Structure 1
Amino acid sequence: MGITVGFDLDMTLIDSRPGMLVAMNTLGAESGLPLDGEHFAANLGPPLDDSLRGFGAPEDRIPALVDRFRELYPDVVVPVTIALPGAAESLRAVHAAGGSTLVVTGKYAPNAKLHIDALEFEVDELVGELWSTRKAEALREHDARIYVGDHLGDVHGARAAGAVAVGVATGPCSRADLAAEGADVVFDSLEEFPAWFARWLAEEAG
């Protein structure tokens, strides 16, 4: 049986920033709250409720704001989201080696699945609404040996699960920051993943 490789979604497999910016600014206009779409889109990763708290949203309004954001999402974010370079090829590389692919994301799972379906990604399992070290819950459950992500929280999740932490500097965190946080390997983009994965498999077999 091949190994399972986990991937983060936002800014690892997909670039959802343009739609995220519009969705958050729309939510701000509707709610009358100072929600900053540009800042939100530039710092994707943490859970939506945490981001709303960071903008000063009252705690009692956060559940309704989250629900409304999720309602806006399919029409505002999904259509303008693109695959990042190397994303589809990396998923295919895992399958070509007889492995399984797992997406573990902080995103609401039904909306995450819309992206996977729209971009025709080869994903075997999807787990949503997990962030940072909590991602280890899904990684351990699915026995993922590798986890790939763009955020320091992804490195924390991989390390908590005992998985190889692969960082990609396509999100808000630099190569240096990912490496300093404990990533085992860091790429400029997922275009580097298939060749590295082939070498890693050969080393494991040897």
Structure 2
Amino acid sequence: MGITVGFDLDMTLIDARPGMAAAMNALGVESGLPLDGEAFAANLGPPLDDILRGFEAPEERIPGLVDRFRAMYPEVVVPSTVALPGAVESLRAVHAAGGRTLVVTGKYGPNAQLHVDALGLEVDEVVGELWSTQKAEALLAHDARVYVGDHAGDIRGALAAGAIAVGVTTGPCDRTLLLSEGAEVVFESLTEFPDWFEKTFATVG
């Protein structure tokens, strides 16, 4: 039996930036707050409530803003989202080796699942609303041996779970930063993952 490999979602498996920017800008107009969709989309990863605090949204309004963003998400974000190069092939490579695939994301779980379903991604389990070292909870629970992500927080989560940390530079963090956080290997995109995975775990059965 193969191993379980975990993947981050935004900017690791999928590119949701156009929809995320549009949703945040729409929320800003609706709420009368100075929310910057483009800045948000360029730095995907941290939890939505932390992002809203960064935009100086009043603390008492944050729960309602989060709920509203999540409500508009299926119609605004999901339809415009695409799979990143190599995503489908990377998931397929894990399954071809008899393994399981796991998405662990800071995104709201039901909306993360909508992306997986809409794009037909071969994911066995989706766990949402975990960020940085919190991701270790799900990685340990599913005995994930590898975790792949685009953000420094993803690398921290992998290491906290004792998993091999694999970075991709498709998100906001460059190779130098991901390596400095402890990534064992960093790829320009997931197109490089299947070959690495096959060579690294060829003897795992």
Give the TM-score normalised by structure 2. 0.99
1:71 maps onto 2:71 in alignment: yes
Match of 1:97 in 2: 97
Q: Which amino acid aligns with 2:54?
A: G
Match of 1:141 in 2: 141
Deviations 1:70-115 (A, max 9, x none): 0110000000000000000000000000000000000001000100
Displacement of 1:61: 0.2
1:115 maps onto 2:115 in alignment: yes
Matches of 2:180 and 2:153, distance apart in 1: 13
Unaligned runs of 5+ in 2: none
Q: Report SS of the residue matched to 2:201.
A: helix
- Indicate if the aligned counterparts of 2:158 and 2:164 stay in contact, CA closer than 8 A: yes
Give the TM-score normalised by structure 1. 0.98
Matches of 1:107 and 1:181, distance apart in 2: 22
Query: Where do residues 40-55 of structure 1 align in structure 2 (5 Å cutoff)?
Result: 40-55=40-55
Match of 2:169 in 1: 169
Displacement of 1:2: 1.3
Match of 1:187 in 2: 187
Q: Report SS of the residue matched to 1:9.
A: coil
Q: Report SS of the residue matched to 2:135.
A: helix
Matches of 1:66 and 1:23, distance apart in 2: 11
Matches of 1:205 and 1:89, distance apart in 2: 19
Deviations 1:32-69 (A, max 9, x none): 00100010000000000000000000000000000000
Match of 1:83 in 2: 83
Matches of 1:58 and 1:98, distance apart in 2: 48
Q: Which amino acid aligns with 2:92?
A: R
- Indicate if the aligned counterparts of 2:165 and 2:182 stay in contact, CA closer than 8 A: yes
Deviations 1:152-195 (A, max 9, x none): 00000000000000000000000111011110100000000000
Q: Report SS of the residue matched to 1:123.
A: coil
1:13 maps onto 2:10 in alignment: no
Displacement of 1:205: 4.4
- Indicate if the aligned counterparts of 2:2 and 2:204 stay in contact, CA closer than 8 A: no
Match of 1:131 in 2: 131
Moved over 4 A (4+): none
Q: Which amino acid aligns with 1:127?
A: V
Matches of 1:196 and 1:49, distance apart in 2: 36
Q: Report SS of the residue matched to 2:123.
A: coil
Q: Report SS of the residue matched to 1:145.
A: strand
Matches of 1:113 and 1:60, distance apart in 2: 28
Paired residue total:
205
Q: Which amino acid aligns with 1:113?
A: Q
Matches of 2:73 and 2:159, distance apart in 1: 31
Matches of 2:200 and 2:49, distance apart in 1: 37
Query: Where do residues 52-63 of structure 1 align in structure 2 (5 Å cutoff)?
Result: 52-63=52-63
